[in-house]
Amino acid sequence: MSHAYGPAADKKEMTELLSEAVDKGYTFFDTAEVYGTPENPHDNEELLGEALKPYRDRIVLASKCGIRFDEASDTVNKPLIPDGRPETVKTSIDGSLRRLQTDHLDLYYIHRIDRKVPIEETAGAMKELIEAGKITHWGISEADEDTLLRAHAVCPVTAVQNRYSMMYRDYEALFPVLEELNIGFVAFSPLANGLLSAKYNKDSKFEAGTDYRSAMPQFTADAFDKNAELIRYLKETADKKDATPAQISLAWMLAKKPWIVPIPGTRKYGRLIENAQAADVELTDEEVKAIDHMLDTDYIDFYLHKFYL
């Protein structure tokens, strides 16, 4: 709503959409202190703070700290500079609480791992925030197993938020340790930045400068050709289930593990409803295995790009 998908959306419209989300049963809202614009770097926290204040006792609110943009770069998706120092964590939470108009966060992530700061120090700062009542739980975004285990030993981790979708399954290797430690997996970009909605094609245009998809390799004409088989399969599966490709993508993820929570984003009421109804699409174990087999064997362009949030 505020960052990476074109200019920041109209606040009045988004406030109404967030209210409708709560009315439709959405309970988990995800933001970060860096989701904003050059003019207003904290736009999204301010938006959610005002819009969700009436519903605070009905929702789970999550935010993140520990990164800033490399403003010296002239790229659309500016490189991230991680900062996991305890003093940064402790300062950031106060700003987020003020903007989100709440006295605590239900879940607070370190947004990226700072390899210059031992994760034990970052975890220790999070433990202090829990003891102070400023956060209830903490998590890590883009964590590997070693970092997760070291952090968890200092202060139990509640959630790992990593990229996960049909097009990016690397972190399935983490599932056994997450299950063992009772840690939830929050999947960001579960629709591969919208690609798995099957609403885009090689002629789709994205605003340069504010929409990261204008620089993402999976939205190039060549990538659409390479991923045509995946999109075709998704559409066929959706037709059989009286669903949409986006709903199949989310239902597949929900069927994987009961502790996986996808967080698709939208600015449109229709997509809000479509995403929610994915929870009603049931896939059997055999159907999930068939999709996995397709993903393992067919012609899919498993992309990697340097920047994502």
Residues annotated as catalytic are 35
Cα–Cα distance between 64 and 69 in angstroms, integer? 14
b/e per residue, 105-129, with b = 16+ CB within 10 A? bbbbbbbbbbeebebeebbebbebb
DSSP-assigned letters across all residues of 281-302: ----HHHHHHHHHHHHHS----
The terminus-to-terminus CA distance of the chain in angstroms comes to 13
- Provide the token pair at 238: 């959706």
Cα–Cα distance between 299 and 189 in angstroms, integer? 21
Angle at 240 between CA 267 and CA 226, to 5 degrees: 65
Q: Would you say 128 and 135 are in contact if contact means Cβ atoms under 8 Å apart?
A: no
Q: Which H/E stretch holds residue 141? A: strand 135-141
CB-CB neighbours of 236 under 10 Å: 12
Cα–Cα distance between 51 and 168 in angstroms, integer? 32
